[in-house]
Structure 1
């Protein structure tokens, strides 16, 4: 359900961008006397379509917020920040593997009192 609403939300956003770019610039801002608040601007089909798409965009935004809130109900960020991540379910069926033994160069020297190398000959 969330994916469907998100897809519709993205399509509405792209349509709204296209409709806004198709509108003719009247040289003024929204509150400068012209624009969307004039009698001619309110009757324009692109302006009406912009308002419809904006309302649909807000509705899908609120719907996505509600769906996300229901999905995360009962969980907290503090619960997940304890430092012990939950193991995925499929790892329980896989046997644990041992790490490979290091090569001979990386082994520590034997624990004896003898020097590692013989003393140099004089």
Structure 2
């Protein structure tokens, strides 16, 4: 169902771009022959403006409608989750110890612990560079 609405949405987008480019503007746009109101046009004057304005309004309404439908379909069935619920309950030590003290208990280490399956060996964390004296 969603694929059908996406195809309809894309057809509406292409038609809307075409109708907007056909309209007469100050700069000329694509128009129908230089400027949009030439003798070779399929409609002239007021009739062209009314038809293209109406078509633009209808296509714009259809574009908004399909956009809203696609947004509703994308969020339907999605479970709302909070990142706070998945946070670890243990806290990091207050004072770091050992040679890798700046990296101990960091955010990346906590994420690695959360992602690694239980019982799997943890990858070694790089040691902090030795201070030069």
TM-score by length of 1: 0.48
Could you say which structure has the larger radius of gyration? 1
More helix by share: 1
Larger RCO, structure (CA 8 Å, separation 6 or more): 1
TM-score by structure 2 length? 0.45
